[in-house]
Amino acid sequence: MSIQSDIQELLESNIITQETAARVVAYYESKKKAAPNRLFIVFAILGAILVGLGIILILAHNWDNLSRFTKTIFALLPMLAGQAVCGFTLFKMRQSMAWREGSAVFLFFAVGACIALISQIYHLPGDIGSFMLTWMLLCLPLIYVMNSSVASMLYVIGISYYAVYTGYFNYPHVESYWYWVLLAGMLPHYYYLYKTKPHGNMVLLHHWLVPISLLICMGTIGGKMSELIFIIYISLFGLYYLIGISKPMDGKNILLNPYKIFGAVGTVIILLMLSFDWFWQDLRLSNHTMNDWFMSPECIAAAIITILACYLFYLNYKGKSWKDLRPFAPVFLIFIPIFLLGLVSSVAVIFINVLLFIVGIATIKEGARQNHLGILNFGLLIIAALVACRFFDTDLSFVLRGGLFVLVGIGFFAANYWLLKRRKEHV
């Protein structure tokens, strides 16, 4: 164990006492004992997934030789087995995470296999949307009955697939409003996980999966008033960022805080897209009436998300000074009036570029304040991206464009050098 050599070094330098060294070694020994349990859980889950898929493949090979009655029995058997294993887990092994997760995952796939096999037996036309909807609805209770986080994650993937298929690929277009109801169905489990094990791996995986699912499926709301989708996404990224900087989440390693990453990066991407004039020209040419705007599903969604984001903004900054504002927190609030201005005036695009520039500078300043190279360089990257976009957009001479790039490059070197020098001075 490498910690042994470090402890020896610390002992020899009289940094720690013998007693402290013994306690440190005992602590790491106890952590090692917990590791095999975690490994067992992982293998149990993988094993359950493979067993479920394996059973399907074996049955499929001999399928044509079986009578319809036999096929029906085989279609129901995996589901019966999964339910039996879940029942046994509830009765005898409720405290074991490996058993709960393994049995829940097995039943999850068994239910899907059962529905799929029934469709095959009776040669039913393939409507993947209704198949996924039925499967997910039948497996939603599994998350709570078995208290299974893996089933919850599979469920989020399943409902996302349903929403994407129904909302983006189905013709004629059918609304995928069921997605929102289904997502709401798993949120209590997510909240319970967050409250009981806020630093656990399962809750971290949910922190990644749920925002990604929302991000992908939010676009299914888009219809005739597709311009409003930008307000929806800016407010969503604002909401993500505000969740990321709220007390329980803030201060964590950036990889453990996906809300902050999505919020910051997403906001920058949207602003960069809108820093080009093409969107604003199309916006002014659109001939929607006020009724079209306000009665559309996009407007309702934008209103709901913006209100949620405003509420979180209020909670985060209640009683604080404007100097405490983080770079990305107020962007969604500033964007909405710019969008409304853009309906009538070409000056909106200038405001977007100025906003992006200010966000970049504020991020650099935030990086310097927190003594964080990653945030500082992210700010510089925003400025560089803005310059690059204008490179392709404007009619500036090559000399001027080249000069701008040189300035940004010098800025990168200077800012990093200054921060590293400041760190050395404080050490």
Partner 1 sequence: MFNKSILWIAFIIMVAIQWAIATGSIYSHERILKTGTAFKFKIQPLDPNDPFRGKYISLRFALNTVSLSNTDRINSMNPVYVTIEKDNDGFAKFGSASTKTPASTQDYLQVSLTYMPDTGTRDAQVELPFDRFYMDEYKAPSAEKIYTQALLDTTKTTYALVYIKSGEGLIKNVFIGDTSIVDLLKSQH
CA nearest 363: which of 387, 336, 381, 349?
381
In the structure encoding, which two tokens stand for residue 388, read together? 């690059």
> For partner 1, which is the closer residue by CB, 141 or 409?
141
Shortest CB 48 distance to partner 1, Å: 17
Q: What are the CA-CA distances from residue 39 to residues 51, 235, 294 (Å)?
A: 18, 40, 53
* CB 156 within 8 Å of CB 209: yes
* Cα 204 from Cα 198, distance rounded (Å): 8
- Whichever of 72 and 416 has its CB closer to partner 1, that residue is 72
* Cβ nearer to partner 1, comparing 60 with 304: 60
Structure tokens, 72: 């029906």
Residue 78, preceding bond cis, omega within 30 degrees?
no
Closest distance of CB 58 from partner 1, Å: 13
CB of 183 to partner 1, least distance (A): 19
CB of 169 to partner 1, least distance (A): 15
* Contact of 318 with 221, CB cutoff 8 Å: no
> What tokens does 6 get?
């470090």
Nearest approach, Cβ of 193 to partner 1 (angstroms)? Answer: 10
Q: How far is the CB of 83 from partner 1 (least distance, A)?
A: 5
- Give 123 or 318: the residue with its C-beta nearer to partner 1: 123
| Cβ atoms of residues 267 and 356 within 8 Å | no
What is the Cα–Cα distance from 29 to 334, expressed in whole angstroms?
53
Give the whole-angstrom CA distance, residue 415 versus residue 407.
12
- Do residues 394 and 406 make contact, with C-beta atoms less than 8 angstroms apart? no
Nearer to partner 1, 145 or 303 (CB): 145
Cβ 56 to partner 1, closest distance in Å? 12
Query: Which pair of tokens denotes residue 134?
Result: 């039925």
For the CB of residue 9, give the shortest distance to partner 1 in the complex, in Å.
Answer: 46
**In terms of CB distance, is 103 or 353 closer to partner 1?**
103
CB 225 within 8 A of CB 243: no
Query: Minimum distance between the CB of residue 152 and partner 1, rounded to whole angstroms?
Result: 12
Considering the complex, state which of residue 61 and residue 199 has its C-beta at the smaller distance from partner 1.
61
Q: Which is nearer to partner 1, 120 or 416 (CB)?
A: 120
d(CA 67, CA 63): 9
Give 399-427 as a DSSP string: HHHHHHHHHHHHHHHHHHHHHHHHHHHH-
Q: CB 144: neighbour CB atoms within 10 A?
A: 15
Q: Residue 194 CB, nearest distance to partner 1 (Å)?
A: 13
Cα separation, 256 vs 170, in Å, equals: 36
Asked if 213 and 183 count as a contact pair (C-beta separation under 8 A), the reply is yes
Instruction: Between 197 and 423, name the residue whose CB sits nearer to partner 1.
Output: 197
Choose between 103 and 296: whose C-beta lies nearer to partner 1: 103
Which residues form the interface with partner 1 (CB under 8 A)?
60-61, 63-64, 72, 75-76, 79, 83, 86-87, 90, 94, 111, 114-115, 118, 120, 122-126, 134, 138, 141-142, 144-145, 147, 172, 192
A 10 A CB-CB count for 413 gives: 10
